[in-house]
Amino acid sequence: MYTVTFDAKLKKLVLEAFNKDIDDSGYVVEKTNPTQRVLSPDGEEIKLEDFAGIKNGSEVFIKSDLISLMELCDSLS
């Protein structure tokens, strides 16, 4: 298994590759349905500034807070 990290400048490019966009309020949304915000595993809407990555599977979006990153690490081990 590989992990890819990226800096803030590449967030939009990564999201675009997954057919996602950013709405006027700064939330990650589906490009084909801009009213549909993507959710973290906890069901929280994710702002671009909080976006940390996408986990393998059904496009599981990861927030950049410590708890979310620790849960990601636990799920990968």
Q: What is the pTM of this model?
A: 0.71
Q: Which residue has the tokens 């890819």?
A: 4
Is 2 part of any domain?
A: no
How many whole angstroms separate alpha carbon 53 and alpha carbon 55? 7
Token pair in block for residue 6: 């990226």
User: How many alpha carbons fall within 13 Å on the CB side of residue 65?
Assistant: 8
Is 33 part of any domain?
A: yes
Range of the domain at 14: 8-76
Is 3 part of any domain?
A: no
Provide the domain count of the chain.
Answer: 1
Q: What is the pLDDT along the chain (77 residues), one digit of tens a residue?
A: 455 666 667 888 889 988 999 999 999 999 999 999 999 888 999 999 888 887 766 677 777 777 777 777 777 77
The confidence score (pLDDT) of residue 70 equals: 76
C-alpha to C-alpha distances, 63 to 32, 46, 71, nearest whole angstrom: 22, 7, 10
The confidence score (pLDDT) of residue 4 equals: 60
Is 69 part of any domain?
A: yes
Is 1 part of any domain?
A: no
